[in-house]
Structure formats: structure tokens, C-alpha cells
Amino acid sequence: MPHLHVRARCVFEGPEGELPGLTYPDPYFGGEGPERASCIGCGGCMMGCRYGAKNTLDQNYLYLAEKRGARVFAETRVVDVRPLDGSADGSNGYEVFTVPSTLGLGGGRRFTGRGVVFAASALGTLDLLFRLKEKGSLPGISGQLGKRVRTNCESLIGVRVPGSREDLSKGIAIGSGFYLDQYTHIEATRYPAGSDAMGAAISMRVSLRSDSVRMGRMFT
């Protein structure tokens, strides 16, 4: 079993002194998980690791669930959940209606079960529960739904280093961070080469009031 170093983004770095990118038996789940490759520092942790070094839902947890008999229906979106046989409290189970999440690939499906777990992360779960409450499929959903929701409250701040020849895309995505005050945590985050399209969603922070001048500064 190799000695593990796990830093931000849940990345497997392999034994100290070994070359990056080597494949190892499962180091996390007692040998039951998939093989892992040690991090090569591509900077892709935030966008999606292509080399098997990062812990991800599909690579680890769905893999283990399927080994224990779970069936995963890919590219499937739930659109309705209703109690079976008119039982408002779901005591007789539920029926779940789905549609393909990709266009033009078959029709919807219906599933039934004794219980339903909503685990589509914060945004996906809230969106579905609000829709189920509005259409009356699950009228017992609390009116407090959505009242106490918090995201990471993140702001992306780009940093440019004019004239630098260093490839800043190489390395782990988040390697350092500090607390500016009791409310603010700042992390130095990198993205892999080819992620420049994200720049179209930002604006330059300058003191000039003219929008036209500000836009000009963004492209210089």
C-alpha cells in the first residue's frame, strides 16, 4: 500500500519520490475500488481530471455502488415523483418518472420503490423539489424549502502576469489558501490549459468610469 498525500481537490499523489502518472491498486477503499493513477499536475482538478488521479462521483462512489448491486441509469433526468396508490405520506412507496437528459434518445421511464433519496446536489435537488411542490406531486414538502440555502459564495478573481514565461496551468488546482478575515477565505486556484473561454465571463477591475475604455483595457 503506497503512502498517500491528499491535498485540496481530493487528488491522489502517490508515494513520495515516485514518478507521477503511475497506476496503483485502489488506495482508498480496502482494495475494493478502481485502480488509481498518481497526479501529473495537469491543473485539471476543477474542470475534470482526465488521468484518474481525482476522487469523483463516477470513478469511485458509483463504481462501488454498482459492485454492490446498484443500477445506474446514465443521462436520465427525474421530472416527477408521486406517492403510490394515492397515499399522501408515501407509506405505499413512490413512483418516479424520468426523461432522457440528452435530446432525441428514446422516451421516458417509470420506476417504483419503497423510498426515494434526493441527492442531486443543492441546485438539482431544490429545482426538482420546488417543481414537485408546485405541481402538487408531493404536497407535504415544507414551506421552508429554499429558506436556508447557501452556496460557496464564491467570486472568481483572475490574475495576469504580463511577460511571464512560466506555465501557470501546471500543478494542482488548489495548493494554497488563507483567511483574509473571519468571513473571507481566499484560495489560489489554477485551471488547465485550454480553459481561456472562461475569460469571456469576467471583466477587468479598473478605476476608469468609461465602459468603452474599460472594455479596451480587458483586451490589452
pLDDT confidence of residue 218 = 59
Instruction: For the chain, 220 residues long, give each residue's pLDDT as a single digit of tens.
Output: 333 333 446 888 888 889 999 999 998 888 899 999 999 998 888 888 889 898 888 888 899 999 999 999 988 999 999 999 877 788 899 999 999 988 766 678 999 999 999 988 888 899 999 999 999 999 889 989 888 877 667 777 777 777 888 888 888 888 788 888 888 888 888 888 887 776 666 666 666 566 666 666 656 5
pLDDT confidence of residue 199 = 67
d(CA 86, CA 93): 10
Query: Whole-prediction pTM value?
Result: 0.69
If we measure between CA atoms, which residue out of 5, 47, 52, 20 comes closest to residue 190? 47
pLDDT confidence of residue 5 = 36
pLDDT confidence of residue 184 = 85
pLDDT confidence of residue 26 = 92
Q: What is the DSSP string of the chain?
A: -PPP-EETTTEE--STTSPTT-EES-SSSTT-S--EE----BS-TTT--SSS-B--IIIIIHHHHHHTT----SSEEEEEEEEGGG-TT-TT-EEEEEEESSTTS---EEEEES-----SHHHHHHHHHHHHHHHTSSTTS-TTTTTT-------------TT--S-TT-B-SEEEEEESSSS-EEEEE---TT-GGGGGG-----S---HHHHHHHHT-
Residue 68 half-sphere exposure, CB side, CA atoms within 13 Å?
8
d(CA 191, CA 48): 10
pLDDT confidence of residue 74 = 87
Interacting residues of 53 by C-beta distance below 8 A, sequence separation 6+: 11, 12, 13, 36, 37, 38, 39, 40
Which pairs count as long-range contacts for 188-196, CB under 8 Å and 24+ apart, including other chains?
A: 189/46, 190/43, 191/43, 191/44, 191/46, 191/47, 192/42, 192/43, 192/44, 192/47, 193/43, 193/167, 193/169, 195/47, 195/169
pLDDT confidence of residue 133 = 94
